[in-house]
Amino acid sequence: MLIKKSDDIPGSEITDEKLYNNRRKFLRGAMLAGSVGATGWLYRTLNRPGDTKPQSAENDPAGEIAAGEIAEGYRTPEGEPANTFEEIANYNNFYEFSTSKQAVAVRAKNFITRPWTVEVSGLVHKPKTFDIDDLLKLAPLEERVYRFRCVEAWSMVIPWMGFPLRALIDAVEPLGEARYVKFITLYDPKRMPNQTTSVLPWPYIEGLRLDEARHPLTLLATGLYGRDLPPQNGAPVRLVAPWKYGFKGVKSIVQIVFVRDKPGTTWADYAPNEYGFYANVNPQVDHPRWSQKRERRIGEWSMRKTLPFNGYADQVASLYSGMDLNRQF
Ligand code: MTE
What are 110-142's pLDDT values in tens digits? 999 999 999 999 999 999 999 999 999 999 999
Q: How far is the CA of 94 from the centre of ligand 1 (A)?
A: 5
β-pair type (294-297, 227-228): unpaired
Distances (CA, A) of 301 to 178, 225, 233, 296, 298: 45, 24, 24, 8, 8
Residue 12: pLDDT above 70?
A: no
Report which protein residue has its CA nearest ligand 1's atom 14: 247
What are 147-168's pLDDT values in tens digits? 999 999 999 999 999 999 999 9
Residue 83 near ligand 1, beta carbon < 6 Å:
no
Q: How far is the CA of 283 from the centre of ligand 1 (A)?
A: 20
* Closest to 183 (Cα-Cα) out of 106, 242, 237: 237
Residue 124: how many CB atoms within 10 A of its CB? 19
Residue 99 near ligand 1, beta carbon < 6 Å:
no
Q: How far is the CA of 281 from the centre of ligand 1 (A)?
A: 16
Q: Which residues contact 152 (CB under 8 A, 6 or more apart)?
A: 1, 3, 290
The whole-model pTM stands at 0.85
Residue 95 near ligand 1, beta carbon < 6 Å:
yes
Give the DSSP per-residue string, 200-215.
Answer: S-SS-EEEEEHHHHTS
Q: Locate the ligand 1 atom nearest the alpha carbon of residue 200 and give its number.
A: 6
Average pLDDT value for the chain: 84
Can you list the domains of the chain with their CATH numbers? 10-320 (3.90.420.10)
Q: In the chain, helix, strand, coil percent, each to 5?
A: 25, 25, 55
Cβ-contact 34, 81 below 8 angstroms = yes
Residues 171-190, mean pLDDT to the nearest whole number: 98
What are 264-279's pLDDT values in tens digits? 999 999 999 999 999 9
Per-residue pLDDT at 2: 56
Q: Is 239 exposed, middle or buried (0-12, 13-18, 19+ CB in 10 A)?
A: buried
3-state secondary structure of 25: helix
What are 59-73's pLDDT values in tens digits? 554 555 555 677 777
Residue 192 near ligand 1, beta carbon < 6 Å:
no
User: Per-residue confidence at 38, pLDDT binned at 50, 70, 90?
Assistant: very low
Residues 166-194, mean pLDDT to the nearest whole number: 98
Residue 21 near ligand 1, beta carbon < 6 Å:
no
Report which protein residue has its CA nearest ligand 1's atom 11: 94
Report which protein residue has its CA nearest ligand 1's atom 8: 247
Per-residue pLDDT at 237: 98
Per-residue pLDDT at 17: 33
Residue 71 near ligand 1, beta carbon < 6 Å:
no
Q: How far is the CA of 238 from the centre of ligand 1 (A)?
A: 9
25 versus 240: the higher-pLDDT residue is 240
Per-residue pLDDT at 29: 31
Q: Locate the ligand 1 atom nearest the alpha carbon of residue 101 and give its number.
A: 22
